[in-house]
């Protein structure tokens, strides 16, 4: 079974990404509690054989800027791939289209539609 991809955007400017991401998939900070939830979610899915990957896009942020618990910070910084989490620093890319290819945009749109359908229920 091929892994399912999920995406989250962390950005000060939420409106900047509203044309790509559903508002529920954008946040302006990464807290210890939120990071812990993401790690647990990924670990549970891993052990239940529901392989998923989670990409956390950081727009004009570095992981060091968040007041994360040191253990959570270390896991995200050095071992996130063990949890199926990929952290992408957008400021390292000169062309945003290198990241947001049509395939990624289409997948994010599918996620956005899923979020919308769950909200309407």
Scored b (16 or more CB within 10 A) or e, 100-117 reads beeeeeeebeebbeeeee
Q: Is the pLDDT of residue 72 over 90?
A: yes
**pLDDT score at 39:** 94
pLDDT at 68 over 70: yes
pLDDT digits (tens, 9 = 90+) for 12-66: 998 888 888 888 889 999 999 999 999 999 988 877 777 788 999 999 899 999 9
Q: What is the pTM of this model?
A: 0.82
The residues spanned by each domain of the chain are 4-120
> The dihedral of CA 81, 61, 58, 34: what is its sign?
positive
- Confidence class for position 120, pLDDT limits 50, 70, 90: low
């Amino acid at each position: 079974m091929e892994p399912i991809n999920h995406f989250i955007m962390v950005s000060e400017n939420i409106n900047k990404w509203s044309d790509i991401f559903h508002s529920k998939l954008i946040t302006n900070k990464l807290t210890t509690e939120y990071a812990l939830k993401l790690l647990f979610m990924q670990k549970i899915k891993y052990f239940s054989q529901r392989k998923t990957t989670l990409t956390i896009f950081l727009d004009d942020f570095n992981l060091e800027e968040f007041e994360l618990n040191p253990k959570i910070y270390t896991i995200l910084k050095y071992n996130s791939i063990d949890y199926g989490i990929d952290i992408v620093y957008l400021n390292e890319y000169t062309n945003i289209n290198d990241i947001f290819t049509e395939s990624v945009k289409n997948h994010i749109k599918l996620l956005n539609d899923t979020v919308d359908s769950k909200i309407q229920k």
